[in-house]
Structure formats: C-alpha cells, structure tokens
C-alpha cells in the first residue's frame, strides 16, 4: 500500500490508502492499523459498505475499534462510491464490478482478510464467496441470497414515503433528513452527525440494484464452505429481521438480531454491541 495521509487517532494509526496496483491507482481505502506495542492479529479485516454510502461509514467507529483490538482494519469504497473513481458511470456498474473491486483489494493485502459486508456490501461478499474463499465473513443487515424483491415489496407497503425517498436518492435527488433517519436509525442521533451523513450519502447504481433483485443472485451452496456470522437489527425497515433470519437459515447458521437498533448498525448509538459480537466471534474462530 502507498499511504497518502497518516495520523494517529485514539491509539490507532489511520491511513487513507491507494492500493499498489494499476486497477486501484485511485480507489479509496481507509485503514486503521494497530498502534505500536499492540499485539497484532495475523488476519486483516476488509469492510464493504452498502448502497448510497462509502468507506466512510466504517471509519466512524468500527475501524478504530478493531484496530485497538489488534486487527489491521481496512474499508474499501467500491467503484463510483466515496473518493473512488467511476461516479460518472455509476449506473453502468454491476455487482460483478463490485466483486472485482473486492477481489483486487483482497489480493493487495498481505494475508487473506475476513470480509465484513453491510447491506449491499453483504450481497457483494456473498457473490465474492461463490468463486473465492475467505477465512470467514460477516453479513450485517445483508441483502439476502434470495434477493431484494421481498424487501422492496415490504418497504413499499410498510414505509411508502421512505421508498419514494430512496428512489429519489437513487436518481441523484436529495432527500429530507427525516428520511435518512428513518432509513438508518432506530436510536437517537445527534443532528450534526445526521447532517454530515446526509452530505456524504450518494446515488446508487440502478444496474447493481437490478442484479440484487433478479439477475445475479448468489449460489448459496458455494458459500457454505466459509464460516459466516449473520447480524440484523430489530427495527431495520430496509432489511427486516425476518429476512436476516432467512439468510441465516439458508447458510445453516444462527442470526444475531440486535434489539432496538436500525439498519445502520455501525452508526447507531449502540454500535459497540454488533462490533463486540463480531470480535467475540472472530476470537471463537481463532482469527
């Protein structure tokens, strides 16, 4: 990796990296590394964000948390997201393009990482695991292997206003702060933070959403060889707990549903709960 900026924050080294490969000459990688003197775990972590966001969503809390636990923690902004290139061709980007981003990032790391994907990122992780192996993977509020259609239909009936706002954001339009709060949070959030997240939110690829709905669903039998942790949230309006439990059943594991939390598990007030659950699970896997 070639570091662009480095500073020490909360005991962990923070770097904003570009991968040392032609494809990743400009892709955004946010990293936090264990501080000097910290016992370093041998397996790095690679975090994959969901739709409408970027690597920044992991850097609020999770990257530092895991760096302080001894893990080299990296978050990738997929093509067309965050500071990565491709925004001008966002609608042409497919789930396969996002999987290729993950594969290139994995290849550039010094050791195979545990993959941690949220929402759309969890779907990308599943697609990656069709043809690749990983030490383990975590699916957080992930789009299920059966696709987005059931979630979209449920949202259309339960939160029609939110569905309308997400469609507006999909096309590059602006949404109200209340819509963002309803989509991501079940717990109180500081208005300044909500405004900052609102500024960072972005459109998503129509093609990728169609891939997740119909055209590129994961082959679950190929994925079961990877140890999986499946997490969800009690008050998730986008990927309800029932769909998270369906994902877990598909892969023969148990779902961990966090009470009184919403879709944005890594940004909620009680974010340490899912973070600690992942940490405990990684330790149980000897990773």
Domain containing 57: what range? Answer: 2-284
- The answer on pLDDT for 174 being more than 60 is yes
Per-residue pLDDT reduced to its tens digit, 221-274: 888 789 999 999 999 999 999 999 999 999 999 999 999 999 999 999 999 999
Q: Can you give the pLDDT at residue 5?
A: 28
11-15, 68-72, 172-176: the lowest-pLDDT one: 11-15
d(CA 83, CA 74): 15
Q: Can you give the pLDDT at residue 180?
A: 83
- The answer on pLDDT for 198 being more than 70 is yes
10 Å Cβ neighbour count for 285?
13
Please give the tally of structural domains in the chain: 1
Per-residue pLDDT reduced to its tens digit, 24-34: 557 899 999 99
* Mean pLDDT, residues 101-110 taken together: 95
d(CA 239, CA 230): 12
Handedness of CA 218, 92, 182, 30 (dihedral sign): positive
In 136-227, alpha helices (H): 149-158, 160-170, 177-184, 191-200, 206-210, 220-223
- The answer on pLDDT for 3 being more than 60 is no
pTM for this model (two decimals): 0.90
* Mean pLDDT, residues 91-102 taken together: 97
Which has more pLDDT, 277 or 39? 277
Give the H or E element holding residue 122: helix 120-131
Q: Can you give the pLDDT at residue 20?
A: 37
Under the banding of pLDDT at 50, 70 and 90, the label for residue 75 is very high
10 Å Cβ neighbour count for 269?
14
Q: Can you give the pLDDT at residue 1?
A: 31
71: domain CATH number is 3.40.50.1820
Per-residue pLDDT reduced to its tens digit, 108-151: 999 999 999 999 999 999 999 999 999 999 999 999 999 988 87
């Amino acid at each position: 990796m070639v570091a662009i900026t480095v500073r020490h924050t909360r005991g962990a080294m923070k770097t904003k990296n570009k991968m040392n490969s032609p494809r990743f000459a400009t892709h955004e990688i946010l990293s936090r590394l264990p501080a000097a003197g910290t016992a370093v775990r041998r397996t790095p972590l690679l975090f994959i964000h969901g739709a409408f966001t970027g690597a920044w969503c992991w850097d609020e809390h999770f990257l530092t948390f895991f760096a302080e636990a001894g893990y080299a923690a990296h978050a990738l902004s997929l093509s067309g997201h965050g500071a990565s290139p491709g925004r001008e061709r966002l609608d042409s980007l497919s789930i396969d393009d996002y999987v290729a981003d993950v594969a290139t990032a994995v290849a550039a790391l010094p050791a195979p990482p545990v993959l941690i994907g949220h929402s759309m990122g969890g779907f990308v992780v599943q697609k990656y695991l069709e043809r690749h192996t990983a030490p383990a993977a975590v699916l957080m509020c992930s789009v299920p292997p059966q696709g987005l259609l059931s979630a979209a239909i449920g949202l259309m009936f339960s939160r029609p206003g939110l569905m309308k706002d997400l469609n507006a954001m999909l096309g590059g339009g602006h949404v109200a702060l209340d819509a963002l709060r309803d989509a991501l949070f079940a717990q109180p959030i500081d208005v300044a933070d909500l405004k900052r997240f609102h500024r960072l939110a972005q459109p998503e690829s129509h093609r990728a959403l169609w891939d997740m709905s119909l055209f590129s669903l994961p082959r679950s039998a190929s994925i079961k060889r990877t140890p999986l942790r499946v997490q969800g949230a009690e008050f998730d309006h986008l990927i309800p707990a029932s769909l998270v439990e369906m994902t877990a059943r598909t892969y023969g594991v148990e779902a961990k549903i966090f009470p009184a939390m919403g879709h944005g598990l890594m940004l909620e007030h009680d974010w340490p709960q899912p973070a600690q659950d992942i940490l405990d699970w990684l330790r149980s896997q000897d990773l």
